[in-house]
Structure formats: C-alpha cells, structure tokens
A and B are shown apart, each in its own frame.
Chain A
Amino acid sequence: AQSVTQPDIHITVSEGASLELRCNYSYGATPYLFWYVQSPGQGLQLLLKYFSGDTLVQGIKGFEAEFKRSQSSFNLRKPSVHWSDAAEYFCAVGLTGGFKTIFGAGTRLFVKA
C-alpha cells in the first residue's frame, strides 16, 4: 500500500541554522513528490514538487528537496531558517493518474531565537 512517513513529529531549530526535514515514501510506481507548508489556521501552500529529471529541486522561500530513489526519500532542506518558517510541513506523494495524493502526518517546525 502507498504511504508517506515523516519520522519527526516536531523539530526545533535555532534561527539562522540549517534545516532538514525527513520524508520516506512507499509507492511501487514512479512517484510524484511534494512538500507543503501549513501555518496555523491556514490551508496548505505548495513549496516544491518533483516529477522527473534533476533530483534536486528548488522551491519557494529558499527551500530545496532531494529525491533519492534508492532510499525512497525526499528530504526537505533550507540552509538558514527564519522565524517565519515556523509552521507544519507535509510531505506528499501523488499517485499515477492524478486522482489522489497521500500526505504524511506532518512535522511541526519550531524556530527559537
């Protein structure tokens, strides 16, 4: 069965420090991978997506993610975190055909001064 695992329920990072959020997926076909961010009381905003090609993808707000097929991973990174990055981050896999996207349980990011 298809699934997305985000091993870290929450992470605390100091402002200015680097960030890596982990994501592992289980899907038999070519995955379409996404990272979304959700601020409290808000909907989800698409940060970046991977369909094919270069395994390092750039997104908005200075985020990037790397697809590693051998590890079934799609980790999100940012070199320097800002206080405004505090939010919940969701990794997701889009199933072939486009009719369904499966989300992980999310990782809540806290940023300390």
Chain B
Amino acid sequence: DAGVTQSPTHLIKTRGQQVTLRCSPISGHKSVSWYQQVLGQGPQFIFQYYEKEERGRGNFPDRFSARQFPNYSSELNVNALLLGDSALYLCASRSDPTNYGYTFGSGTRLTVV
C-alpha cells in the first residue's frame, strides 16, 4: 500500500509569491493534518481536516489556508510568502480524528528567497 504522498518534494519561491502543496493520504484515511517544521524545531500544527471539513487550526496567520477534496486528498496554500515560511511542510493522515497516531509523508521542503 502507498503511504502518505506529498508533492512537490522541494520548492523554491520568491517573497510575496503564493504556493500550493499537495497531499494524498493513505487509502481509507479520511483525516489529514498539516504541520510546519522549521529547521531545528519540532513540527507545529497548522490544520486538521476530516471529511472535507476543517476540524482544527493552529496559531498561523490567515495567509495559510487548506482544503480537503472528496477523495480525501488535501492542499495547503500559503499566500504572500515570507522568508520565515521556509520550512519542511509535513502532511499526516489517519483513519479518523479519534485514531491517535499519525502516518506522516516525507514532506515538502519550501525555501523562500
């Protein structure tokens, strides 16, 4: 079975641009979460989606948005990129929100220059 897949794996953007990151969860998993991991730190929670609805949001500005599609895949959008948005963006899936313990993808490395 395929794990959690994320695309692209690496991305370089310029300040002020917009970026879209994509995530496909494990087959059968209906819950997708996004995390930001800045170099040298632990992952920080951005969003959780379940059954296409936002179920939780971390302490991130409105420049960050996400959505989940009927096939349970998800996109994370970041507008007006700042240098501080440079990080590894991790997507994680699980069968439902009460099933604690994520399966993570390998992440998208975003560099803002």
Contact = CB atoms under 8 A, between A and B. Distances in A.
Given A41-B106, A42-B106, A102 B100 contact: no
Contacts of B97: 97-99
Grouping DSSP codes into helix (H, G, I), strand (E, B) and loop, the A interface class, with mixed when no group exceeds half, is strand
A90 interface: yes
Interface in A36-67: 36, 41-46, 49, 51
Contacts of A42: 106-107
A106 B90 contact: no
Contacts of A46: 101-103
Given A43-B90, A106-B41, A101 B98 contact: no
A42 B48 CA distance: 21
Contacts of B48: 99-100
A105 B44 CA distance: 10
Interface string B90-113: 101000011111111111000000
Contacts of B99: 98
Interface string B78-92: 000000000000101
Contacts of B102: 44, 46, 101
Nearest to B109: A41
B43 A90 contact: yes
B105 A43 contact: yes
B42 interface: yes
B45 A102 contact: yes
Given A43-B4, A44-B90, A98-B98, A90 B58 contact: no
A46 B100 CA distance: 11
Interface of A: 4, 32, 34, 36, 41-46, 49, 51, 90, 92, 94, 97-106
